[in-house]
Amino acid sequence: MLTLRCPAQLQLLEDTLRKSLPTTLPVLGNVMTVARGNPFSHEVLVDSWPHFGVVLTRLRPEEHRDHRDCYINQLTVFHRDEGALQALLRGTEAVAPARAFQVLGMQEGLEEAVQEVASARGLKVE
């Protein structure tokens, strides 16, 4: 996963996400926050740039105080490609299985993808 920090990249991502409202709303809100000063210490990750398949926003790893608190450890996700979403959930360091987390997104198939990956890992989903 690539972390976007450049204001020009964040602006381009913001413009791209605006075209897919309302399904991008949770991610777009966090991208806008990061682009405008980032008071909540979030980061924006993409699988590739500029043609991304999935966007993830999360609290910076160094800011995680309690690995059991799923409310602090929120992830927002928008995907263009379900395969990229599955790869993100299965095999990247962006989603740490040792930490409780909450996934926020508004797309069809997100819940099913999370359930499938969790059951394959023997994890509980609430």
DSSP 8-state secondary structure symbol assigned to residue 47: S
pLDDT at 13 over 90: yes
pLDDT recorded at residue 11: 96
Structure-block tokens of residue 109 = 């198939």
Closest to 76 in 3D by CA, of 121, 23, 2: 23
Alpha carbon distance 14, 97 (integer Å): 28
Confidence band for 84, pLDDT divided at 50, 70 and 90: confident
26-82: per-residue pLDDT in tens?
999 999 999 999 888 899 999 999 999 999 998 887 766 666 665 567 788 898 888
Tokens 């682009």: give the residue.
Answer: 35
Q: For position 7, what pLDDT does the model report? A: 94
Cα–chain center distance at 59: 10
Torsion angles phi and psi, residue 59, rounded to 5: -70, 140
